[in-house]
Amino acid sequence: MIVRHCMSSPVFTQSPEKPVDAAMRDFRTRRIRRAPVLENGEMIGIVSQRDLLDVLPGTLPQLLAVGEAALDTPVRDVMSSEVHTIRPEQPLEDAAQIMLEQRVGGLPVVDESGLLGIITESDIFRALWDVLTFDGGRRLMVRERSGAEGAPHDYVVSAVNAGCSVRTLLHQHLTDGTVATLLVLDGADVDRVADEIRVRAGVLAVDELGGG
């Protein structure tokens, strides 16, 4: 999957001169948590709900302490001017890696023409949900020792040879040093595929998962 297919577009943006109180109302109305900040069509920053909450008084005593002037603080004063971006044709895992490494919840999507959209944690969760959920088919979870060369490719070959179609294949290195592979298969001979995988060198277990 690539970013273009998972991003939110068009993207809502904020003006750098908008008061933070008004910006927060926008966020609540649109149910969003961050927005790029544009000035004269150019992206100059990004502002998050957390940025706004850092300056907005949450209680009456806080409002009395900081004064109503805090409500008029412009977005420019609280936004982050260092913006991590991603291009629309990059793979989705690049977006996830940048968010994890930079500890941000969303990335503006840009190309030579400018701002195209935004991809957020929610978009990535939604894409993962689409991959993991299915109607029909059968799910096999394979655990094997790390270093089994060509394993996912061999699983696909076994499925095709048994007349099954592969709807999903996910490969993950686990913290205990083993590797887990999820196969979602359609076809009448999934049991044959499972039996062939079980006898492969390095395979620790092949379990069928419920659901479907």
112-162: per-residue pLDDT in tens? 999 999 999 999 999 888 777 766 678 899 999 887 666 778 889 999 999
How many residues does the structure list for the chain? Answer: 212
CA-wise closest residue to 143 among 92, 113, 183, 189: 183
pLDDT tens for the chain, 212 residues long, are 899 999 999 999 999 999 998 999 999 999 999 999 999 999 999 999 989 888 775 543 444 444 456 678 899 999 999 999 999 999 999 999 999 999 999 999 999 999 999 999 999 999 888 777 766 678 899 999 887 666 778 889 999 999 999 888 888 888 888 999 988 898 889 999 999 999 888 889 999 987 54
- The chain-wide mean pLDDT, for the chain, equals 87
Q: Whole-model pTM? A: 0.69
Contact by Cβ (8 Å): 18, 75: yes
DSSP string of 178-204, one letter each residue: EEEEEEEEESS-HHHHHHHHHTSTTEE
Listing from the earlier edge strand, what are the strands of the sheet with 138-145? 165-173, 178-186, 138-145, 203-209
Widest distance between CA atoms in the chain: 73
pLDDT at position 69 is 60
pLDDT at position 64 is 43
pLDDT at position 65 is 46
Q: Where are the beta strands (DSSP E) in 58-129?
A: 106-111, 114-120
